[in-house]
Amino acid sequence: MFQNQAILLESLSGTASGENSGIAAINAAGGDSLTLSNVSGSTVTLNNEAGGPQKSVSASIFLLKVGPTVKPDPVLADVNAAQDKIQMDAAIRASALGLDLTVYDDLDEWAQSHVLFGLLVNKPDLGYLTTDYLQQLLNYQVVLAQKTVNPNSVYVQAGATGGDGSMAAPFGTIPDGIAAVCPGGNVFIMSGDYPITSQITVNKNGISLSGKPGNKLLMKAQITPMLITGRDVTVENLNFTSDIAYLGVFIEAAANGAVLRNNDIYGPPNPNVVNRGILLDDNRTGIIVDSNYIHSLVQGIAVASGVQGTINNNHIEETQTGIIVYSGSMIFVGNYWSGTKNTYDIGLMRSIAGNYQVDQLSANNNNAKVQIF
């Protein structure tokens, strides 16, 4: 049933059989438009239980009473006045409404846009009358958005099977998400453990891999778990570790414009195994390594020859060398060291030591212990 072109959630009965199935009682105001729609897989013969001359009809309306026009709750004035998605988003966030936006806020921007569009086009002619009904329709639009496949926003959930990449039916592996996402899109990695036994290659330009709380990428073989070959890739909010200490590196940036931020990268420590958190490959430009927590490794960040970019605000501890620079032209600011100390915070190869003022480099990075090798 539709009331002023807005679907009535209480009238959705799903699959039913027998007499009086799918009956819904509603309150309607004078001037409201009521529309009925019934879909069946085959011919269905139904009686008009409300009375009247028509028989064998699929639905009917029985009016018990028509009362005076009901006015919307004044607290919904901004919602009912909203003309576009920006205005609607601002209106539903008003604290006076008390709407539960928890799931809505967890949607990506594209999905939120679909929800807001649904609220606008389904707004009754008289406006939303109550916050309860607005909440019901909001929840319904959220469910629709979660079920919609968007190649620019792909979801991955550890252990999921048979998914299509939507929030409601995510893929089960990160490579599946990368394969499905469009260049420039986002792969959202939900909570759960992701065992990695073969390399994940991030080969699409401009995509982002964004972790949700509770994710863990668990390296279980002597491989580089994540190799970035696409330009302008962002990897953020992911947790990398391994079951044992493996020789190698967790993330290798082998393309220009890589952004690595807010990741937690750690071993188990083993002084006899040279493992690294991040390796920046030769001659890469536009690299940003920012606000990562890197610990319990032999080397935190390794900078190869000719790399240009910034390494800022990273927390690095419990390593032999927090940042090791073989060559390149990097800017280091705000990196810090606490907890279990590093043997050396920053290491410079002697061939490039002249490129840096060691005292200033130390001061810019919270009194880093700088060693020239």
CA distance 1 to 358: 74
| 27 pLDDT above the threshold of 80 | no
Alpha-carbon distance of 339 to 317, in angstroms, equals 7
> Counting every residue, how long is the chain?
373
Domain 191-372: assigned CATH number:
2.160.20
Residue 213 CA to residue 237 CA, distance in Å, equals 8
Unique residue bearing structure tokens 């036994």 = 197
Q: What is the mean pLDDT of the chain?
A: 89
- Give the three-class secondary structure for 218: strand
For residue 369, the one-letter residue type is: K
Q: Using an 8 Å Cβ cutoff, are 297 and 317 in contact?
A: no
pLDDT of residue 270: 83
Which residue in the block uniquely carries the two structure tokens 């990268």? 265
Which string of DSSP letters, residue by residue, matches 44-58?
-----TT-SS--S-S
Q: Which of 351, 284, 293 is nearest to 322 (CA)?
A: 293
Calpha distance 269→71 (Å, rounded): 67
pLDDT at 18 over 60: no
Residue 51 has pLDDT above 60, yes or no: no
- In the prediction, which pLDDT does 70 show? 74
Amino acid at 63: L
Q: Which of 35-39, 103-107, 268-272, 349-353 has the highest mean pLDDT?
A: 103-107
Tell which phi-psi region holds residue 334, choosing left (phi > 0), alpha (psi between -120 and 50) or beta: left
Question: Strand order in 208-211's β-sheet?
Answer: 153-156, 186-189, 208-211, 234-236, 259-261, 287-290, 308-312, 329-333
d(CA 321, CA 315): 13
Average pLDDT over residues 20-38: 66
pLDDT score for 21: 53
Q: Which helix (H) or strand (E) holds 134?
A: helix 131-147
Could you tell me the pLDDT band of residue 4, with boundaries at 50, 70 and 90? Answer: confident
Q: Report the SS3 class of residue 148.
A: coil
Residues 161-208: pLDDT tens digits?
999 999 999 999 999 999 999 999 999 999 999 999 999 999 999 999
* d(C-alpha 319, C-alpha 321), whole Å: 5
Distances (CA, A) of 257 to 203, 207, 230, 281, 310: 13, 11, 9, 12, 11
- pLDDT of 319 over the 90 cut: yes
DSSP-H helix ranges across 73-222:
77-81, 85-92, 102-106, 109-121, 131-147, 174-180
Residue 2 CB-density burial (10 A; 0-12 exposed, 13-18 middle, 19+ buried): middle
The whole-model pTM stands at 0.77
SS3 (DSSP) at 109: helix
